[in-house]
Amino acid sequence: MVYRAEYLWIDGTEPTAEIRSKTKILADGDEPGIWGFDGSSTNQAAGDDSDIVLKPVKSFPDPLRGGDNILVMCETFLPGDMSPHPSNNRIKAREAFDAYGSQEPWFGLEQEYTLLDPVTAWPAGFPANGFPRPQGPYYCGVGAVKIRGRELVEEHTTLCIEAGLAIAGTNAEVMPGQWEFQIGPVDTVTVGDHIWVARYLLYRLGEKHGVEISLDAKPMPGDWNGAGMHTNFSTKAMRETYESIELAAKSLGEPGKPEEHLAGYGQGIEQRLTGAHETQRYDQFSYGVSDRGASIRIPWQVAKEGKGYIEDRRPNANADPYMVAALMTNTVCAALA
């Protein structure tokens, strides 16, 4: 029997890269090899020199098609000298992990997203031409008035589990129509692979349900929470001593580091990190125990037990997890080395 491999890759869309995919039919026993695509249609090449190379790097069972079918995460390369395409951020995560893997970095990412009506682009649960009651009852809420989209969320969780992703949990968020899933704890490269595959599965369910999935960092201006991708991080040393936890939090505030990190934390960071809605302002840096208004939160159990992990609350929902994981690994592991 033939089987299908869905090749996935990250495109060159500015300012926020998107995931693309296409299908290859393979004979039984054949491996999914090197392939290519038209980079002039993905903001990755000019029309007169358009071929970009797709190199499979990891595969997962395809829970949408079932059977022997697979999803294949790829990296992109230039055909001439096989150098990485400039949009290939996975290589940054690989280089960081190659440099600091001996510190055993772990990530848990909280991916928030918003369900939108595909025609009006208005969030699910917002009445047409109007607004729902103010935030308060929606976070982890239950019931028909508060909750929209749970069926899709449950289906998504099942697909993630069947694909072998390290999905750790889900919850309804503070703004109506907003949800979250968590991936982790896994290493610097794996977390990006799993977030991107989980995003792909979410978009595919959006097609099926006729719902737009938005990773916009501030889908509703005004008194509504934005959407982030809180990044929980630890190394072996941080899982053992509080001294390392404090060193890690401090390292992210060293001169130049806040700017360097924010530049890789997704489009529209100033709109989301306002200092309100459980954020620190984008132009200020702070860390604190249990502080959801800080850039970096040290969870209370971590302070109590004297070991564990830190939470960087700044990355946007639309950030590239490869970039976020590379930055975090490089900054903190260099400080702890």
- The residue ranges that bind ligand ADP (CB under 6 A) are 106-108, 110, 168-169, 182, 184-185, 230, 232-234, 239, 308-309, 311
Q: Which residue is nearest to Mn ion (CB)?
A: 230
Q: From ligand ADP, Mn ion, none, which one binds at residue 212 (CB under 5 to 8 Å depending on kind)?
A: none
When the beta carbons of 108 and 192 are compared against ligand ADP, the nearer one is 108
When the beta carbons of 307 and 314 are compared against Mn ion, the nearer one is 314
When the beta carbons of 9 and 107 are compared against ligand ADP, the nearer one is 107
Q: From Mn ion, ligand ADP, none, which one binds at residue 106 (CB under 5 to 8 Å depending on kind)?
A: ligand ADP
When the beta carbons of 60 and 113 are compared against Mn ion, the nearer one is 113
CB of 312 to ligand ADP, least distance (A): 11
CB of 188 to ligand ADP, least distance (A): 11
When the beta carbons of 18 and 104 are compared against ligand ADP, the nearer one is 104
Q: From Mn ion, ligand ADP, none, which one binds at residue 235 (CB under 5 to 8 Å depending on kind)?
A: none
Q: From Mn ion, ligand ADP, none, which one binds at residue 331 (CB under 5 to 8 Å depending on kind)?
A: none
Would you tell me which residues interact with Mn ion (CB under 5 A)? 110, 180, 230
SS3 string, the chain, reads CCEEEEEEEECCCCCCCCEEEEEEEECCCCCCCCEEEEHHHCCCCCCCCCEEEEEEEEEEECCCCCCCCEEEEEEEECCCCCCECCCCCHHHHHHHHHHHHHHCCEEEEEEEEEEECCCCCCECCCCCCCCCCCCCCCCCCCCCCCCCCHHHHHHHHHHHHHCCCCEEEEEECCCCCEEEEEEEEECHHHHHHHHHHHHHHHHHHHHHHCCEEECCCCCCCCCCCCCEEEEEEECCCCCCCHHHHHHHHHHCCCCCHHHHHHHCCCCCHHHHCCCCCCCCCCCCCCEEECCCCCCEEECHHHHHHCCCCEEECCCECCCCHHHHHHHHHHHHHHHHC
